[in-house]
């Protein structure tokens, strides 16, 4: 499965270029990233041109009539609305798990969240495709003061 390479810019994901071409990948990171940061379900689709939509732009472009496959993150809103403490860690972890639930048919998914400091949280996902011994691991560090992902790693 080929996909375009996305990377975090601090103000949202961007496309990775290779010369004048968009770089492609066969990894699962894009699915995880978009599931976690595909924005929240809070729009009707009838917004005025002057109104900012809060869902992923590709939802209306690619999946307008298929709401069940749209990328609508609960994690992103949860990160903004939840205190980074022991109770908040559980809430954040549940949101991250919920957002990756759609992947259960293609991989065994494990999610864990760690509070790194009073303003940073690590979100970790491990995916193992059926019949594949290799495990794909992804880690994002969320900075609540900047309200953005500051580090992303594929391990």
What's the pLDDT score for residue 90? 97
What's the pLDDT score for residue 65? 79
pLDDT in tens, the chain (155 residues): 555 656 555 555 555 666 776 665 556 777 788 788 766 555 555 656 565 555 565 666 666 777 767 667 889 889 989 999 999 999 999 999 999 998 888 889 999 999 999 999 999 999 988 787 788 888 999 999 988 888 777 76
What's the pLDDT score for residue 34? 77
What's the pLDDT score for residue 132? 78
What's the pLDDT score for residue 105? 86
Boundaries of every domain in the chain = 3-38+73-154
> Is residue 22 a contact partner of residue 30, using CB atoms and an 8 Å limit?
no
CATH no. for 3-38+73-154: 3.10.450
Entry pTM = 0.73
Contacts of 23 (CB under 8 A, 6+ apart): 4, 5, 15, 16, 17
């Amino acid at each position: 499965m080929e996909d375009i390479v996305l990377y975090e810019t601090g103000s949202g994901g961007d496309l990775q270029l290779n010369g004048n071409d968009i770089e492609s990948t066969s990894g699962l990171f894009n699915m995880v990233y978009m599931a976690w940061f595909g924005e929240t379900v809070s729009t009707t689709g009838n917004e005025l041109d002057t109104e900012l939509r809060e869902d992923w732009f590709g939802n209306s472009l690619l999946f307008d009539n298929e709401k069940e496959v749209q990328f609508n993150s609960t994690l992103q809103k949860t990160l903004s609305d939840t205190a980074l403490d022991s109770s908040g860690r559980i809430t954040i972890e549940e949101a991250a798990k919920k957002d990756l639930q759609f992947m259960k048919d293609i991989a065994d998914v494990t999610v864990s969240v760690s509070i790194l400091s009073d303003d940073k949280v690590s979100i970790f996902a491990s995916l193992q495709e059926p019949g594949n011994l290799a495990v794909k691991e992804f880690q994002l560090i969320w900075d609540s003061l900047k309200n953005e992902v500051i580090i992303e790693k594929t391990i």
